[in-house]
Amino acid sequence: MSRSLIAALIVGVTGLLSTKVYAAVETADVTGGQVQGVVMEGIASFKGVPFAAPPTGENRWRSPQAVVPWSGVRQANAFAPACMQDTGMAASFGAPTAVSEDCLYLNVWTGAKTAQDRLPVMVWIYGGAFLGGATNWPLYDGAHFARKGVVLVSVAYRVGPFGFLAHRELSRESGTGSGDYGLEDQIAGLKWVRDNIARFGGDPQRVTVFGESAGGISVSMLAASPQAKGLYQRAICESGGSLKPPDGGPGQGVPTLGRAEKTGVAFLASLGAKDIKQARELPADKILDAARQGRLTFWPALDGHVIVGDEYSLYEAGRFNDSPVLIGTNSDEGAAFTAAKVTALDYVKQIRATYGDKADVILAANPHATDAEARAASKNDFRDSAFAWSTWRWASLQSRHPGKGKAYLYYFDHRTAASPEGASHAAEIAFVFGNIGSPGMPPSDADRALSDLMVSYWVNFAAQGDPNGPGLPAWQPFSDASPKVMHFDESSSARDGVPNLKQLKALDDYFAWRRAQAAKASPQ
């Protein structure tokens, strides 16, 4: 046999082996039609796949409607624009700034070789205070998860007044309340995953819903929503939770439907619209501009359909979607939301104005004699009231009910030269997605090790409902009797005791008082 023939055979065999190694699901028949993705180094990505009809015209402020079918093969090779929002947040993260009211699309990353692989699935819900956020941020690229054997899906949802406007007309129109269209978008995305993800090599019976900030709060809301029952099998919440009493208190809480509807009436008045029909005819830009100029808050409402009650009370009664949960907060996330300078006098005034009759309880738990202490107390109060209290209480309540859903609690405390006092809000996301470093600033070996550790835990949890695995520090489930918390820092390990417990117990006292006050005020 000639050398040239041998060489040709070697090249041919190598090519076949390469094709086998890098083969991936490239096309899929999904609800609405066929989509074709893009394959790079064995990972297929499908971007801009519609999971609902455009929420425009008569569909504005309606539950997501069925996908509009298409003919031929749809090229799923580019992200869709973000849902209508101010673009400042996206620009600050180096993300695309295109927005559109036609925005209900999702993205899939998969390393499956065939549709029969049945890999665990993770569904990402972005944060952004329910006012912003999108699936197209580089931070959320799902290729790293796909290389670890997960099918990663990111789902868009309406935000601001487009996603969370409540109004009496809308409540009458639907018959099931109003104000939770963004959450309904998330639920529609989960239904699409249930119905279609097997065609991408995913297992529809091993779906983990996970999110951060407003995305994590959304996960908490879904965990207690009958509308999400059976659509996922595990839940991860990063810096979220929604266990505060409805209608107020520090850290945004769920408004009652009546209160949210009043906000909607005021918003329509600011638009100059006499009714919902007129408001639906307005350009999306005008609605966005009015939201920018106004001081009204748009947040998921207690509509009685998606959000059916005070989540704390629902958990006490065992009325939640029982699944394993992995939840936690960051050590210094209040820094992003509070003033850089706070005097001791300012802090006392702030606490008294916020906590009323329980102000002394909060003040006693937070040292504030000096301006430096007051600054720390101010940002830590935000961290605890907005994120940490709900997370701690969620883990505690979940662990009290017998069932399949264990709770795993973490505390992200990775410190850098830029954040020497602790980990800021959203700092964990890059480590979770494995997208650490930036152009000109490669990650350190320690950063890579921490990211590998967190990715391993998240992937294990998605695969088996338990983050533990060979070679990893043991992470025990949380309970009140054994409050184990995984600390992610320079020597990551599970440790006894909940961080900042004194401050969390003070908030516990306050929120219990708020619930008691609300019970007295409600008609019998």
Instruction: Tell me the C-alpha distance between 361 and 507, whole Å.
Output: 8
Amino acid at 357: D
Cβ neighbours for 182, distance < 8 A, ≥ 6 positions apart: 130, 157, 158, 159, 163, 164, 218, 300
Which residue in 184, 261, 333, 428 is the catalytic one?
A: 333
Instruction: Tell me the C-alpha distance between 72 and 428, whole Å.
Output: 41
User: Is 333 designated active site?
Assistant: yes
Which residue in 63, 178, 213, 218 is the catalytic one?
A: 213
Task: Tell me which H or E stretch contains 496.
Answer: strand 493-496
Which residue in 167, 305, 414, 425 is the catalytic one?
A: 425
Q: Which of 432, 435, 511 has its CA nearest to residue 124?
A: 432
Contact predicate 119/201, CB 8 Å: yes
Q: Which of 128, 111, 129 has its CA nearest to residue 120?
A: 111
Instruction: Tell me the C-alpha distance between 505 and 366, whole Å.
Output: 12
What phi and psi values does residue 75 have, to the nearest 5 degrees? -80, 115
What phi and psi values does residue 304 have, to the nearest 5 degrees? 85, 0
DSSP bridge partners of 98 = none
Instruction: Tell me the C-alpha distance between 515 and 5, whole Å.
Output: 82
User: Is 487 designated active site?
Assistant: no
Q: Which of 155, 64, 151, 142 has its CA nearest to residue 106?
A: 155
Residues marked active site are found at 213, 333, 425
